[in-house]
Structure 1
Amino acid sequence: MKTTVLVIEDNEEICGNIAEILQISGYNVLTAPDGKSGVEKALKHKPNLVVCDIMMPELDGYGVLHVLARHPDTADTPFIFLTAKAEKSDFRKGMGMGADDYLVKPFDGMELLETVATRLRKSEHLKTSFGSQVDDIDAFLDKAGELPDLPNISGERPRKSYKKRDHIFMEGQRPSELYFVIRGEVKTSRMNYDGKELVTGMFREGNFIGYLPLLKDTPYTESAVALQDTEVRVIPKQDFQTLVHTNREVASRFIKILSNNLFETEKRLLELAYQSVRQRVASTLVYLYQQQRVAERPIPLLTVSRKDMAAIVGTALESLNRTLADFRDEHAISLTEGGIKILELGKLERISH
C-alpha cells in the first residue's frame, strides 16, 4: 500500500508542485486548499504524514496542528510546516506546539523529499504494535530510546515487590515514578470528608498506576495499596517526562498504551501531555520555588542546573533557554550567573495553567 501524504496549502501553484514531486516519487497525495478542509481530510483519510502551510484562510497551520495533535487518530502523524517566513518567532511557536520539522519557502524538490523520507522513517520505527505485557512495555521503551531526540531514556526500570496491604504511594505524596503492574492486584482510594474510604480504582496485571499526577505535576490525590502480593515495573519520572513531552509520535504511542486505547481517556491524556513548553517551564519554576521555600533555604536564587531543569520540563536545553529568556523579557524572572530569581510568582502561576 502506498504511503499517503496530505498537503495543505492555499497557493494553488505551490500545492500542485509539491503534489507532483511527491507523486513522481511514489507517494499517494491528497491536497486541501485551507486549514479547515485539511483537518477534515486528515481525520477522514488518516494520512501517513501532513505537509502544511502556516498562513492560510479559514484555519491557519497552527490551528491545524492544534486540532490534529489532540485527536487520537492523528496525534502521532508526522507534521511538517511550510513557511515563507524564516523568522525565529515562527520556528519557536511551531516547534513549541509539537511540529516535527520545517521547510522554508522556496525549497527544492530534493529538500522536500529528504525531509518527508526522514520523518516517515522515524515514524515507522515506532509502528510496531505493542501489547500490555511487561516485555511489550520494555520493548517500546527500548525502541523509543533508540531515537536521536530521546537519548536520555535511562533503561533502568527496576521491579518492586509489595506484600498484601503495603502502600505503593500515599495521598499527598509527590510522584517520582510510574508503576506498571506485572502481577497482583492494587486498589486506589481516598478519604472523603467524614473519614470514610472511597475506592477510586482497581488495577491488575497490565495496568499502569499513577500517571495523571505525573502528567499534571501535582501530588497524588489518592493512595494505592496492594490487595495481594504484587510486583510492579517502575519507570522513573524523568523518563516518563521525556516520553510524553519530547517527541510527539512517541508521546502519542505511549499514551495509547497508558490509556489502553480508550478514546476519551486517550484524548484527555493528550490534552495534558501537549501543554506548551512555555506552560511547563512556568510550572517547573513555580514548583522549584515552592520546594526551596518549604526547605527554608535562605538562598534567594533557584540554582538547579539548566540541564536538570530541561529534564524536569521534558524539553531540549535550547527550548528551555529561549523560554527563560522570554520570561526575563517579560520581567517574570531575572537571570544571573548564580541562578534564576523569581520576580513575579503570580505571573508564572497564571502562565502555567
Structure 2
Amino acid sequence: MKKRILLIEDDTTLLQNTRELLELSGYEVFTAQNGEEGIDLALEKLPDLIISDIMMPKANGYEVYKALQKRNKTREIPFIFLSVKANPEDVRRGMNLGADDYITKPFREVDLLTAIASRLAKHDILRNNFKNSTTSPEEAIYDLDGLREYFLRSGEIEEFHKLEEIFRETGNASYVYLVEEGLIKTYRLDEYGKELITGLVKKNDFLGFYSFKTPSAYPETAQALQNSKLYRITTEHFVKKIAASQNLMLEFGQLISDNLITLKDHLLDMAYSSMLKKTTNTILEFAEKIQESPRDHIRISRSDLASVAGISTESFIRSLSSLKKDGLIDIVGRDIKILDLEKLHEIK
C-alpha cells in the first residue's frame, strides 16, 4: 500500500513540482495551499507524513504543527518543515517544537526523498515495537505519577483564557482533566445566586472526576482564574485506567480522602474563625496554590478571595487593610504581597 503524504505549500509552482516528484517516487499525495486547509486535510485524510512550508497565509507552519499536536489522531504523524528560512534560530525553533526534520529551500530532490524515507521508516519501527511490546498500557500505569504521564502522553490538550469555563454544573461529566498550567476554581451557586468556591486546582492536580458510575453530571462549575492549559481524557477511559491497577486505585482513593479532609477543614474555618483569620488563611491558601514562593505577588480578584474565605468582599477588604497596617502584607495596585509569612500563620 502506498504511503500517503500531505504537502502544505502556498507557492503553486513549488507545490506542483514537489507533488509530481513524490508521486513519481511512489507516494500518494494530498496538497493544501494554506495552513487552515492543511489542518483540515490532515484531520480528514490522516496521512503517513506531513510536509509543511512555514510562511503561509491563514496559519503558518508552526501553527499547523501545534494544532495537529493537540489532536490524538494526528500528534504521532511525522512532520517535516520546509522553508526558505535557514538561520540556526529558525531551525532550532522548528525542532524544539518537536518536528522530525527541517529542510531549507531550495533543496535537492534526493535530500527530500531521503528525509521522507528515513522518517517513515523510523515511525514504522516505533509503531511495530509498540505493538510487539508485552507491557500493556494498564500494566504501565501503577501510580499517580504514571497516571499524570499518561494524561500528558495521550490526553487531548485544552487551553482556557482567564474567566473561561471548563465545565458547568449539571453538565454531562464526560471528561477528567489534568492541570498542566494555570489555576482553576470550582464553585456552586446558592439559591440566591451567591457563589461559593468549593476548591482550587493547580498544576498537576486532577479535575472533573466525581463518580465511578457513568454517565454522571458535574456537581459544580469549573472556571479558570488564570490562563490555563489542561489535558483531558474521557471519564469512561479514566475509570478503566483506575480500575486496571489496584495500587493506582488505592493511591487515587487516598487522594480523594485527602481532598475531602482539606475541604472539611476549610468549612470549619469558614464557620468558626474570625474574619481576620479567614482572610489570612485564604491569602496563605492562594499563596500555596499559585506561587513558586509564598512571598510572590498574588494576582486574584478580591471577590474570588472573599468567596473562598466565605465573607463579603467589603469585609475581606477591611481585613486586608488591617493586615497591611500591621505590616504583614503590602497591597500594590490589585496585587497582594506577603511581608511576614510567620506572623500570618500565627493569627488566631
- Name the larger-Rg structure: 2
TM-score (norm 1): 0.41
More relative contact order, 1 or 2 (CA 8 Å, 6+ apart)? 1
TM-score (norm 2): 0.42
